Structure 1
């Protein structure tokens, strides 16, 4: 991977560094949001979940317009502005004393992060040939997971001094990337649509809805994200119901580490081999790994079994993530890539829905029922993936009316 990075132009490496640094900034504070909201704003567990989940959902929905801007404006300027909002959002969480202001800052952070992510993926498509995109997407996902793996440890270090300091550290990381990109960023980087006549956002949205491949794949991704979007949350819910709090903490911490190490160790090796020619076979393999992993969770009675099941589950994650990117990259017209990647961000709605559904099932059904329900979501998501892949390419949008 390091050899590949050395061969990339500076622009690509800067875009990859955005994924690492800004994900690291988010991960520094994520483990402490629940504690911070409960301690500083005196929220119960249900209200805390509502604040965090709805901020993610609102940011994801607004990122659709962010994708529209990626297609229309200079990516250099948009990344700088979004990074500025990202940094200001964390500074706002550090100083906010009212819940409404803290919530707006969370929405701004999630929105800015999503827009930068869309601009990064669109930039890869502009700068690299089709054959090299699966590799760069795999590197991006590997770096993202390194950020999520390292961030909580950095946050833990500064949180010992003061629980609000992780937010200040995140703001510092955002500011550091802002100044780096300001100096070395490619000022000529822009979406193809930036050179075309301006088109209303709603007109482009209607156009995308006519692309049945995109609709099927977006819904398939949303259903699948119920399963892998926040697996640690619903596994924690299951373990709290079936074991003790001490056992839950021990197993979850081990599983999160297993997931991160598996992704970091294997994502690049496997992801670079995913090709558009056999995309449906790769997707089938990834979805099968998810189902096997869920079955393993349902049957696990020892820590070793949990670790094996998580390793299998993570193989599905390693395959499906870049495969999703490759499919969207394949069907997206060059002048609408930002909007297509913005639609893909709606997967976050599924991620936010997962713990809610699992909590409802755990409250009314035998505990293991959540894994059978999640298997059904994988089957439904897989059906939509393959329906989208089988639809004729002539359903893609052309000109905006």
Structure 2
């Protein structure tokens, strides 16, 4: 990782070093994640226990929604590189607000299905543009890695509080949680409108040859392609500790699933807060090859623990989530930092949008996991996921070998 980022200091000193605009963006993004954690971890429980959907139906819904959102991301990135991206960001926020209000006002399964799909479209618009905006708020190149780590850290602070607050709303079946989440996105809309960095608008918007040249540039970038494939595998394997684990609990008839989901979500976040907060500098300074090996080892071990937990002991699930979180702390910000480092300034939004397609691995996970659990059981699923760490280690090694190249030796137009 870029050692220059470590000179920014610990979490508090990094935050103080930012401009007021950057801090406001970070707080707005963290607030929407806070309210999101009050809603999203419990959607599986709401659909299953309150609206009567099966785990296969839920898995299919989440898979379709994820693919719709992923397909939106590169389109949004292409458009944002050709025209002002503020309109696209505001449109994404507006769609999210409408979806949250619909779920709060109408308790019908068809409305929830439509709202979840619509939120995926909105998320596909917002996520790559918010990430590229974060890079634009950096005052120096050395500050970019620190910004991504700080964003990651603040999002997880929200994750520590959100599920605890959301649990009461879910248990009482109160729709107020959806209205609170909608209000947080209204605040984000205001921040985007008044604090969006002003960048020059390209003179040749939406030109078809330009779009084709972007694809040539991306596909010819060896580092980016290898990183894309590695992240695809990483996200697919890591996603097994999310909805698939909940499906596994539902299939086994584990009691108080909502409470367990809350404990595991908070476990994930607390580990991030403690380890990332205390050792952020050391993690950022860790060599990328070593960091990746540690991350994959943690992920594999966590899946083996889940597979071996036939007695449904809570402490084993907690230990597995804590270990997998160690890998998450290292790998996720590291990959985003590399993308931000290698993306050309004139195509930054498009690169982030295309990179979002690598999350297809996570989009496949709910449906495949639900099908495998139904047919073969959760133990088979998690053992198979652990074995998938082997090809991930191979592809990741190839990707990180390219990151050691200098800008002079890594051409964005070089053939694969």
Give TM-score, length-normalised by structure 2.
Answer: 0.81
Query: Which segments of 5 or more consecutive residues in structure 2 lack a partner in the other structure?
Result: 1-10
Specify the SS of the correspondent of 1:130.
coil
In structure 2, the CA distance between the partners of 1:16 and 1:382, relative to structure 1 (3 Å rule), is: farther
Give the Cα–Cα distance (whole angstroms) in 2 for the partners of residues 28 and 250 of structure 1. 13
Q: Which one of 261, 265, 275 corresponds to residue 266 of structure 1?
A: 275
Query: Structure with the greater relative contact order (CA < 8 A, sep ≥ 6): 1 or 2?
Result: 2
Specify the SS of the correspondent of 2:399.
helix
What does residue 134 of structure 1 align with? Answer: 145
Specify the SS of the correspondent of 1:346.
helix
In structure 2, the CA distance between the partners of 1:377 and 1:70, relative to structure 1 (3 Å rule), is: farther
Structure 1 vs Structure 2 CA RMSD: 3.2
Q: How does 1:149-164 map to 2 (within 5 A)?
A: 149-159=160-170, 162-164=173-175
- 1:23 matches 2:38: no
Asked whether the 8 Å contact 1:135–1:268 carries over to 2, the reply is no
Q: How does 1:1-400 map to 2 (within 5 A)?
A: 1-34=11-44, 36-37=46-47, 43-95=53-105, 102-128=112-138, 129-159=140-170, 162-183=173-194, 185-188=195-198, 190=199, 194-195=201-202, 197-198=204-205, 199-200=207-208, 201-239=211-249, 244-246=253-255, 252-275=261-284, 278-300=287-309, 302-365=313-376, 367-391=378-402, 396-397=411-412
In structure 2, the CA distance between the partners of 1:108 and 1:358, relative to structure 1 (3 Å rule), is: closer
Note the alpha carbon deviations across 1:335-358, whole angstroms, 9 max, x for none.
222122222322432223223333
Specify the SS of the correspondent of 1:195.
coil
In structure 2, the CA distance between the partners of 1:239 and 1:103, relative to structure 1 (3 Å rule), is: closer
In structure 2, the CA distance between the partners of 1:250 and 1:172, relative to structure 1 (3 Å rule), is: closer
Measured after TM superposition, the shift of residue 315 of structure 1 is 0.5
Measured after TM superposition, the shift of residue 98 of structure 1 is 7.3
What does residue 3 of structure 2 align with? Answer: none
Measured after TM superposition, the shift of residue 179 of structure 1 is 2.6
Measured after TM superposition, the shift of residue 317 of structure 1 is 0.7
Corresponding residue pairs, total: 394
Specify the SS of the correspondent of 2:412.
coil
Note the alpha carbon deviations across 1:155-179, whole angstroms, 9 max, x for none.
3444566543322222111112223
Give the Cα–Cα distance (whole angstroms) in 2 for the partners of residues 227 and 314 of structure 1. 13
Give the Cα–Cα distance (whole angstroms) in 2 for the partners of residues 82 and 382 of structure 1. 35
